[in-house]
Chain A
Amino acid sequence: MPLDTSTYSLALLRLDGRRWNELRRIHAQISTQAAADGSSYLEMGNTKILCSVTGPHEGRSGGVRGGSGGVAKLEVEINSAAFSGTDRRRNARGDKRTSEMEHCLREAFGGVIVAHLYPHSTITINLNIISQDGSLLAASINAATLALIDAGIPMTDYLVACTAASSASTSAADNASADDPLLDLNTLEEQELPFLTVGCLGESDKVAVCVMETRVRMERLEGMLAVGIEGCKRMRGILDEVVKGYGKRFG
């Protein structure tokens, strides 16, 4: 394993010098673009995302305008810049990973937005990934939450997300001593460790999103979930500060 777990178990510091339960530096702004109804810019470490929200507005498509059944329709588009990853990639749109993320955001915010207030209308969330360094889905959710708040779209609570990993590998199942769960991963850690993305509704323990793509012993899930949920609570505090700080300027 390139991630040197032996140094981790000695100094209990990760590759970038964080302890197991520390988030990366988070910098967030709202109302970054004047043209959009709501917008935000979020940095989680080196993951950088620009998000804009348009709507509620009349849908673009000719036939079905807006959502059916008396609720607003949610559209999500994710665009990742060609220079965002380590290798330059063209045409990330339309690949299944991106459409899975779009689907996830649509489903997740569909449960949080009070959509029945806007029948026959569409809310469009546009995400631009400028730089990728792990926790991409989590950062997208956080950025979208901020932009939706900026757009003044009513939600039941903040939807916040972060990642958590289990630092013991699947092979070393028996040495349970040095297996701290880790919070908020960067790309290197994501490649080496089993991790999950967990999204919570505000301060509550309720899990709205839980996506895990790597193989892990089922006993480790509990620890990872607990740390992830704890991270979400802290994340909510940070995002809340940003929104309130912005509000003070008018106060």
Chain B
Amino acid sequence: MPREAEISINEREFIKQALQEQIRLDGRAFDVFRSLELTFGEEYGVADVQLGKTRVIARISVDVVTPAPERKFDGIFQIVTEFSPMASPAFEIGRPTDAEVILSRILEKAIRRSNALDTESLCIIAGQKCFALRADVHIIDHDGGLIDASCIAVIAALQHFRRPDVQVEGEKAIILSVREREPIPLSILHQPLCVTFSYFEEGEIYLVDANVAEEQVRQGQVIITMNKHGEICQIAKYGGATVNPLALLNCTNIALEKVKQMSKFIQQKLDEDNKKRNPKGLMNELSAENARENAVIPG
């Protein structure tokens, strides 16, 4: 099994010493994210996130299945993560590493368990048919901050996705294609986003959004998931060096500020994408006053 190239002792000491002098190797302040890029694909529900050199693509797809017998009124939503060897030679297909298990558990807790997506709205006919939503997360390039980037990708993709409309007549449901009926957005209740804090020097120094070199030097991490309304969806600190509880509370305040910024950024990108897709806007199209451009008047 190939292992991740370990950072040399010199480099390790260099990073630590620089941090003590309040300097990060890439010149960022301690509480600043790397440059965040978000692009959407041609199709609905494809989000490509670039956080510095880290790149993650999330894709939402939908299928119609029979719901689980114990959850008749709920649709199905699952998040599938895959680390491909393309991102880092340390990743192997079919053998989940600790990092992969933790990533998928955190996404599961952050997005699924916190009820970010209203699964009841995915039900078509109770006990018989429902939509099964699947979010595939692909790690394309790995330079640290995978959890933060993946969470942004999934949330952005969910907000971007449109599912086909259905027409229910008694026991029969007809899935209307995109051409027949405008597809409808998912009902998303809140937007949880993750912020990972890495700490050094026995919890004295906190870094937001560490890159892969800083991740290898750090003594521990705290992953905080919040939404912009100030609710904590999940906290995960699995051991590592100890921290002061007050510092932990301080982290939640920083996380809230970051999450607010990121939510705003995602919304802005979604609006831009929406404008690109409907250049004149829906209201314009629906308006009776304006003549439709391509309208062919029969007869």
Binding site for B on A (CB under 8 A): 96-97, 99-100, 103-111, 170, 196, 199-201, 204-219, 221-222, 225-226, 229
Which chain B positions have C-beta within 8 A of A217?
A: 230-232
Within B223-247, the residues touching A (CB, 8 Å) are 226, 230-245
Which chain B positions have C-beta within 8 A of A103?
A: 98, 101-102, 238
| B264 at the binding interface (Cβ < 8 Å) | no
CA distance A96 to B78 in the complex (A): 14
Which chain A positions have C-beta within 8 A of B102?
A: 100, 103
Contact at B238–A221, with CB atoms within 8 Å?
Answer: no
A61 to chain B, nearest CB (A): 11
Within B90-121, the residues touching A (CB, 8 Å) are 98, 101-102, 104-105, 108-109, 113-115
Which chain B positions have C-beta within 8 A of A211?
A: 235-238
Which chain B positions have C-beta within 8 A of A204?
A: 242
CA distance A21 to B109 in the complex (A): 27
Known: A109-B239, A205-B245, A207-B248. A100 touches B105 (CB 8 A): yes
> Interface size class for chain B?
35 or more
Known: A213-B109, A218-B256. A107 touches B240 (CB 8 A): yes
Which chain B positions have C-beta within 8 A of A201?
A: 242
Known: A96-B104, A214-B113. A225 touches B237 (CB 8 A): no
**30 examples of A-B residue contacts, CB within 8 angstroms:** A96-B104, A96-B108, A99-B98, A103-B101, A103-B238, A107-B240, A108-B238, A108-B239, A111-B241, A111-B242, A201-B242, A204-B242, A205-B244, A206-B242, A206-B243, A207-B242, A207-B248, A208-B242, A209-B239, A210-B235, A211-B237, A213-B234, A215-B232, A215-B233, A218-B231, A218-B232, A218-B256, A219-B230, A221-B249, A229-B245
A210 to chain B, nearest CB (A): 4
CA distance A202 to B222 in the complex (A): 20
| B75 at the binding interface (Cβ < 8 Å) | no
- Other A-B contacts than A207-B244, A221-B232, 14 sampled, CB-CB below 8 A, are A100-B105, A104-B239, A105-B239, A106-B239, A107-B220, A110-B240, A111-B239, A206-B242, A210-B235, A211-B235, A212-B232, A221-B252, A225-B249, A226-B245
Which chain B positions have C-beta within 8 A of A199?
A: 239
A172 to chain B, nearest CB (A): 14
CA distance A109 to B241 in the complex (A): 10
Q: Name the residue in B98, B108, B238, B249 with the highest tally of chain A Cβ atoms < 10 Å from its Cβ.
A: B238
CA distance A214 to B115 in the complex (A): 10
Which chain A positions have C-beta within 8 A of B101?
A: 96, 99-100, 103
Interchain CB contact (< 8 A) of B239 among A208, A225, A229: A208
Contact at B231–A210, with CB atoms within 8 Å?
Answer: no
B114 to chain A, nearest CB (A): 5
Closest to A98 in B: B101
Known: A100-B102, A210-B248, A213-B109. A218 touches B239 (CB 8 A): no
B112 to chain A, nearest CB (A): 11
Contact at A207–B245, with CB atoms within 8 Å?
Answer: yes
Which chain B positions have C-beta within 8 A of A209?
A: 237-239
